[in-house]
């Protein structure tokens, strides 16, 4: 009997036939890893496989990243040389004379049997995003920018004979606001805009830390909520740095 092989990744019918790999989560992973290394954090030995992570992401993706992360389609298609030996796929032998309806019914029965026998399949990949939740990319970028602003201010403080403890949250807030303002001007309001949480009090326009109201709660321009937001960004960013150092993202 002549048969053709079809590969099938367990999924729902509503998903599109193919799901292109979104590089942005891996870009964020890469950027957090770079910052963990710059801090001198001890990172997993497994990252040796990533090669030189001091270069730009796009260059690194071409040389390493694109070969490391598994791309699994969200639908059924003919098997290829790559998918025929990939543990993320099942290979079905389907007689060519079967009708589409019979093929669908038979495939569904077989998939149900395989799930009952083997349980829900998980992607077999060494490097993959954690399964608890897809990363909120805009939030990740905010955390990165907050960490960068804090790191730059810390470096300046050390140069001035001070320490990291001398860096004030209002200074980080001012630096973050300035970053978003300059970015909006450069890219003509395209891309991520200043988070609303950084605009409390004075609308996010003040970038001089000495002029941002932080203690007078009777002043309508008090920026307490924005200060709290910056503190939260740094806490969450540092948590992600620790996870990334261990080889986990997010």
Best CA proximity match to 82, nearest among 164, 7, 191, 186: 7
157 and 202 within one domain: yes
Torsion angle (degrees, nearest 10) of CA 114, 118, 119, 120: -70
181 and 118 within one domain: no
What would the DSSP string read from start to end of 43-96?
--GGGGGG---SS-HHHHIIIIIHHHS----SS-EE--TTGGG-TT-EEEEEET
- Range in 7-21, 68-82, 87-101, 206-220 with the lowest mean pLDDT: 7-21
For the question of whether the overall pTM of this predicted structure is more than 0.75, the answer is: no
Sign of CA dihedral 223, 239, 142, 150: positive
57 and 28 within one domain: yes
pLDDT above 90 for 137: no
DSSP symbol at 128: -
CA–CA dist 222, 4 (Å, integer): 69
162 and 124 within one domain: no
47 and 32 within one domain: yes
Count H helices and E strands in the chain, helices first: 7, 3
Which of 128, 155, 172 is a domain's end point? 128
For residues 138 and 196, is the Cβ–Cβ distance under 8 A? Answer: no
Which of 109, 128, 147 is a domain's end point? 128
Looking at the structure of the chain, the number of domains it has is: 2
pLDDT reported for residue 130: 64
103 and 222 within one domain: no
Which residue range is the domain that position 99 belongs to? 1-21+72-128
- Range in 84-88, 144-148, 150-154 with the lowest mean pLDDT: 84-88
Of 4-13, 105-114, 225-234, the range with the highest mean pLDDT is 225-234
78 and 10 within one domain: yes
109 and 13 within one domain: yes
For residues 110 and 1, is the Cβ–Cβ distance under 8 A? Answer: no
Torsion angle (degrees, nearest 10) of CA 157, 163, 164, 165: -120
81 and 32 within one domain: no
pLDDT reported for residue 78: 76
The predicted model gives 211-219 an average pLDDT of 87
240 and 212 within one domain: yes
Residue reference for tokens 């992600």: 240
145 and 185 within one domain: yes
pLDDT above 80 for 151: yes
58 and 169 within one domain: yes
Q: How many Cα atoms within 13 Å fall on the side-chain side of residue 228?
A: 9
- Range in 39-43, 61-65, 114-118 with the lowest mean pLDDT: 114-118
């Amino acid at each position: 009997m002549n048969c053709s092989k079809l590969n099938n990744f367990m999924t729902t019918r509503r998903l599109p036939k193919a799901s292109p790999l979104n590089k942005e989560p891996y870009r964020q992973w890469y950027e957090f890893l770079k910052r963990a290394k710059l801090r001198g954090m001890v990172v997993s030995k497994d990252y040796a496989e990533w090669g030189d992570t001091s270069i730009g992401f796009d260059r690194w993706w071409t040389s390493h990243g694109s070969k490391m992360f598994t791309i699994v389609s969200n639908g059924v298609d003919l098997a290829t040389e790559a998918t025929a030996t990939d543990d993320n796929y099942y290979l079905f032998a389907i007689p060519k004379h079967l009708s589409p309806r019979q093929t669908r019914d038979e495939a569904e029965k077989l998939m149900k049997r395989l799930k009952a026998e083997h349980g829900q399949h998980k992607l077999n990949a060494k490097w993959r995003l954690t399964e608890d939740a897809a990363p909120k990319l805009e939030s990740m970028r905010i955390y990165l920018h907050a960490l960068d602003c804090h790191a730059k201010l810390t470096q300046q403080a050390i140069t001035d004979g001070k320490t990291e403890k001398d860096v004030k949250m209002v200074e980080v807030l001012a630096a973050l606001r300035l970053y978003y303002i300059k970015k909006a001007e450069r890219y003509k309001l395209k891309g991520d805009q200043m988070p609303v949480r950084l605009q409390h009090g004075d609308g996010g326009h003040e970038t001089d830390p000495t002029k941002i109201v932080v203690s007078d709660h009777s002043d309508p321009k008090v920026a307490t909520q924005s200060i709290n937001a910056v503190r939260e960004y740094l806490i969450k960013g540092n948590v992600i740095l620790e996870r990334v150092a261990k080889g986990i993202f997010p």
